[in-house]
């Protein structure tokens, strides 16, 4: 292969990797929202990562809340209509205007570290946490929780669990999950969040043996 072809192949590979980068996390999915593909339709649920270029179909009565990792933008869309995910915002087709909120970049970056529900490997954790790190995490969580007018918005809990898990505070993760189950009894998205972290904690603990 010539040098020119090697360069072209490398650029194509780099472009493909960039196009496939994770762009947002589905914080909440109510009703039926499907990911459109060339060959099939696939329904998505809360805590699914979305990539730049993903195209979604929101059916009548559906509601989708996203947080973008690149800028902390939080969008809540109501169907029917379609949505294309970019790195910083959604591009609607036939959808009513979204409800927009903003998270701090620190919160968005922490939410981006939420374990991947489709990846069985243990998520990355930090070394021994410091009291300062835990204190900052708790303070930021309380502030985020106080700013959420929508009681069903789980982004503060997603932020807290991600931070505690990354700091290897597994006992506190379990206590936070118990609190979440108690406070959001019957909420299916809270159930998904608890199930995700139960698996993540189990995998992390087993990997340390």
Q: Which of 48, 70, 102 is the last residue of a domain?
A: 102
By CB atoms closer than 10 A (0-12, 13-18, 19+), residue 139 is exposed
Predicted confidence (pLDDT) per residue in 141-157, tens digit? 999 999 876 778 999 99
For residue 209, what pLDDT is reported?
66
Q: Is residue 14 part of a domain?
A: no
| Residue partners of 110: CB distance under 8 A and separation at least 6 | 159, 162, 163, 166
Quote the CA–CA distance of 79 and 100 in Å, as a whole number: 16
Quote the CA–CA distance of 102 and 57 in Å, as a whole number: 24
| Domains: count for the chain | 2
For residue 38, what pLDDT is reported?
57
Q: Which of 41, 70, 102 is the last residue of a domain?
A: 102
Based on the domain organization, do 86 and 113 belong to the same domain?
Answer: no
Based on the domain organization, do 25 and 119 belong to the same domain?
Answer: no
Query: Domain span at residue 161?
Result: 105-207
For residue 40, what pLDDT is reported?
56
Token pair of 123 as six digits: 């998520």
Q: Is residue 132 part of a domain?
A: yes
Predicted confidence (pLDDT) per residue in 166-209, tens digit? 999 999 999 999 999 999 988 999 999 999 999 999 999 988 76
For residue 15, what pLDDT is reported?
41
What's the pTM value of the predicted model, to 2 decimals? 0.84
For residue 147, what pLDDT is reported?
87
Q: Is residue 31 part of a domain?
A: yes
Based on the domain organization, do 92 and 125 belong to the same domain?
Answer: no
Q: Is residue 7 part of a domain?
A: no
For residue 170, what pLDDT is reported?
96
Strands, sheet with 73-78, edge to edge from the N-terminal-most edge strand: 49-51, 22-30, 63-68, 73-78, 99-102
For residue 34, what pLDDT is reported?
95
Based on the domain organization, do 96 and 174 belong to the same domain?
Answer: no
For residue 125, what pLDDT is reported?
54
Q: CA-CA-CA-CA torsion for 99, 104, 105, 110, nearest 10 degrees?
A: -90
Q: Which of 102, 124, 148 is the last residue of a domain?
A: 102
Based on the domain organization, do 111 and 54 belong to the same domain?
Answer: no
What stretches in the chain show pLDDT beneath 50? 1-19, 120
């Amino acid at each position: 292969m010539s040098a020119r072809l090697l360069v072209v192949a490398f650029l194509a590979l780099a472009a493909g990797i960039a196009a496939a980068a994770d762009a947002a996390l589905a914080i909440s999915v109510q009703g039926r929202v499907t990911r459109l593909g060339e060959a099939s339709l696939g329904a998505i649920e809360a805590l699914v990562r979305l990539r730049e270029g993903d195209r979604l179909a929101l059916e009548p009565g559906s509601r989708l809340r996203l947080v973008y990792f690149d800028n902390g933008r939080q969008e809540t869309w109501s169907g029917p209509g379609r949505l294309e995910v970019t790195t910083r915002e959604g591009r609607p087709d036939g959808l009513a205007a979204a409800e927009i909120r903003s998270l701090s970049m620190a919160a968005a970056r922490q939410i981006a570290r939420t374990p991947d529900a489709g990846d069985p490997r243990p998520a990355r954790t930090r070394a021994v946490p410091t009291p300062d790190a835990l204190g900052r995490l708790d303070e930021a969580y309380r502030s985020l929780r106080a700013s959420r007018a929508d009681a069903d918005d789980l982004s503060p809990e997603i932020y807290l669990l991600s931070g505690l898990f990354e700091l290897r505070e597994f006992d506190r993760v379990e206590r936070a999950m118990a609190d979440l189950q108690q406070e959001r009894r019957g909420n299916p998205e809270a159930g998904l969040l608890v199930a995700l972290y139960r698996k993540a904690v189990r995998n992390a603990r087993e990997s340390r043996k």
